Structure 1
Amino acid sequence: MPVISVPQAFNEEDLYVDLESMFGHRLFLKCEGFNFAGSIKLKAANEMVESAERSGILTKGSILVESSSGNLGVALSMIAACKGYSFVCVTDSRCNLASRQMMEALGSQVHVISHEHGSGGLLGARLAYLRALCAADDRYVWLSQYTNPDNWKAHYFTTAPAIARFFPELDVLFVGVGTTGTLMGCARWFRSWHRRVRIVAVDSVGSAIFGDPPGRRMIPGLGMSVRPPLLDESYVDEVVRVEEADTIRACGDLAKRGFLFGGSTGTVVSGAMAWLECHETSGLTSVAIAPDLGERYLDTVYQPNWVRTVFGDEETDVSEVLHRDLAAREPSTAQGWIL
């Protein structure tokens, strides 16, 4: 058993769930939520903070600031508390209550944006607020997960080689997209690997990451209202877009088997299964990355009243949204594009 003195020193890297018995397709789910931050965002947060310290940007007396829909904010709150920094997380009304409470419990200040900023939406408003903060006081250090190459480097040095060690015959990798840090780090690493790996990005319907107009998205984590600066589409083979109702179905199906995963994971699993349903998978080794666990989604994705409020006009039966088997749905519920 490891003995640690700082919370970021622990992260379970080699845990996978075989989903074949649940969904009928061979898919290994890499679980990234078993650390003290509860999500894959611990890796990016730690890499960005340590890089800023090495370069002298982040010093004693600095105040960390960042925009986050939840998971990165929790990870930075944990690291800031450990290292003695103040941290201000700028989020919006879609952030889960549990994530806000966790950040505050760790000593961080949480500023919630409730009004959109022109065509940039809530994210644009968050970024505008951050720019104003930094312009007003030079103690503020904005790590900028959306533009910071250390975001993707964290996964280039950790996530991708860990998958390769466990699955030396990997054929397809499914990665959910937000800032695209995980996607770009893994795709860059596998581009120079000894065998061809197909990189499939999984996005939310309503996201503008791959050129679609932004639309309503109620589940935080994946998707963005603008194209992320870190994205290089030349590393992506295909894109699968997932409706949020299918995200909820996937989470419900996993929960019925005892696995409580987060909304981002539900989106990735739904997108991966839709892709596998449309392809010849005999002998194929496929891995999907599960960014988070489900505790922070108990008042949203796993709450029937919230589901009824959000999807009531679109779904006549809330229990059908939560409990219809993902394996039984029609393949056409997700859309894929080859880039």
Structure 2
Amino acid sequence: MPIVSRPDDFNVEDLYVDLRPAFASPLYLKCEGFNFAGSVKLKAATEIVDAAERDGLLAPDSVIVESSSGNLGVALSMIAASRGYRFLCVTDTRCNLATRQLMEALGARVHTVTEPDPEGGFLGARLAYVRQLCASDSRYVWMNQYTNPSNWKAHYRRTGPAVAQRFPELDVLFVGAGTTGTLMGCARYFRETRPEVTVVAVDSVGSVSFGGPAGPRMIPGLGAGVRPQMLDESYVDDVVLVPEVDTVRACHRLASQGYLFGGSTGTVVSGAVRWLAEHRPGGATTAVAIAPDLGERYLDSVYQPSWVREIYGPGALEESPLPERVAAARAAG
């Protein structure tokens, strides 16, 4: 059992769930939520703050500021508290209540943007507020997860190698796309070390990251209203877009097996299961999906039936067909 002196010293790196019993799909889920921040964002947050300290950007009176839909905000709240910094998270109305309360419990201030930018959506509005804030007071130091190379380097150095070590015969890796830090770090690592591995990005319908039309998105985490600046599509072999109702159904399917994962994980799992059914139907494939988060922060949304029905309609929680049933129906028809 490890003994730690700082919360960011602890992270479970080698935990995977075999999803074949739940989805009849040859997919292993790398669980990234078992740390004190509760998500994969701990890696990026730690790397970003470490780099800022090395570069002399943070002083005793500095206020760390970041735009976040939730998970990175929690990770930065935790790190700021443990290292004696103040932290301001700029979020929007899609950030769930539990996440805001958690950040505040850790000593952070939370500013919620209530009106989206006409072109850049909520993300554009959040970024505009951060820029205005930093221009008004030099004590505010923006970590800027959207362009900071420490974001993707965290996963190039840690997440990618961890998957490669555990699965030397890996065929396909599925990674969700938000800021694209996890995606680009893993994709760069495998392109350089194991180019035969297929890297599939999973994004939400309504996100503009890969050129699709902007649309409403109610579940925080994956997707973007502004194209991520660090995204380099030359490292990505394929892209899957997942409707949010399928995200919800995947989360509930996992919960029915005793696994409570977050919305970002539901999106990645849904996209991965669909891609494997369409592109690797034989089942003789070694595939891994990155699970960014756990589900406790989604109890009042994804796991609240009244919320789901209000947002996605009365049939939203009806089971979607499993891949093998889809295949059997196609063969019969």
Same fold (TM over 0.5): yes
Aligned residues: 326
Tell me if 1:277 matches 2:277. Answer: yes
Match of 2:44 in 1: 44
Query: What TM-score, normalized by structure 1, do the two folds share?
Result: 0.94
Instruction: Write the mapping of 1:143-162 to structure 2, written as runs, cut at 5 A.
Output: 143-162=143-162
Check the 8 A contact 1:249/1:326 in 2, yes or no: no
* Equivalent-residue separation in structure 1 for 2:316 and 2:284 (angstroms): 37
Q: Which amino acid aligns with 2:184?
A: M
Counting aligned pairs with the same residue, the percent is: 66
Q: Which amino acid aligns with 1:116?
A: P
* Equivalent-residue separation in structure 2 for 1:180 and 1:326 (angstroms): 29
Match of 2:290 in 1: 289
Gap regions ≥5 residues in structure 2: 328-333
RMSD after superposition:
1.3
Match of 2:98 in 1: 98
* Equivalent-residue separation in structure 2 for 1:45 and 1:266 (angstroms): 22
Tell me if 1:317 matches 2:315. Answer: yes
Describe the SS at the equivalent of 1:278: helix
Moved over 6 A (4+): none
Check the 8 A contact 1:253/1:325 in 2, yes or no: no
Check the 8 A contact 1:250/1:326 in 2, yes or no: no
Deviations 1:76-112 (Å, cap 9, x if unpaired)? 0000000000000000000011100000000000000
TM-aligned CA deviation for residue 226 of structure 1 = 1.3
Deviations 1:244-269 (Å, cap 9, x if unpaired)? 00000000000000000000000000
Q: Which amino acid aligns with 2:177?
A: V
TM-aligned CA deviation for residue 282 of structure 1 = 3.6
Check the 8 A contact 1:30/1:290 in 2, yes or no: yes
Match of 1:166 in 2: 166
Check the 8 A contact 2:91/2:110 in 1, yes or no: yes
Query: What TM-score, normalized by structure 2, do the two folds share?
Result: 0.95
Deviations 1:265-306 (Å, cap 9, x if unpaired)? 000000000001112344211000000000000000000111
Instruction: Write the mapping of 1:1-339 to structure 2, written as runs, cut at 5 A.
Output: 1-194=1-194, 196-280=196-280, 281-312=282-313, 316-320=314-318, 323-324=319-320, 326-327=322-323
Check the 8 A contact 2:245/2:316 in 1, yes or no: no
Check the 8 A contact 2:277/2:323 in 1, yes or no: no
* Equivalent-residue separation in structure 2 for 1:279 and 1:80 (angstroms): 44
* Equivalent-residue separation in structure 2 for 1:241 and 1:318 (angstroms): 18
TM-aligned CA deviation for residue 317 of structure 1 = 2.6
Q: Which amino acid aligns with 2:98?
A: A
Q: Which amino acid aligns with 2:291?
A: A
* Equivalent-residue separation in structure 2 for 1:64 and 1:325 (angstroms): 46
Check the 8 A contact 1:67/1:90 in 2, yes or no: yes
TM-aligned CA deviation for residue 192 of structure 1 = 1.4
Check the 8 A contact 2:147/2:230 in 1, yes or no: yes
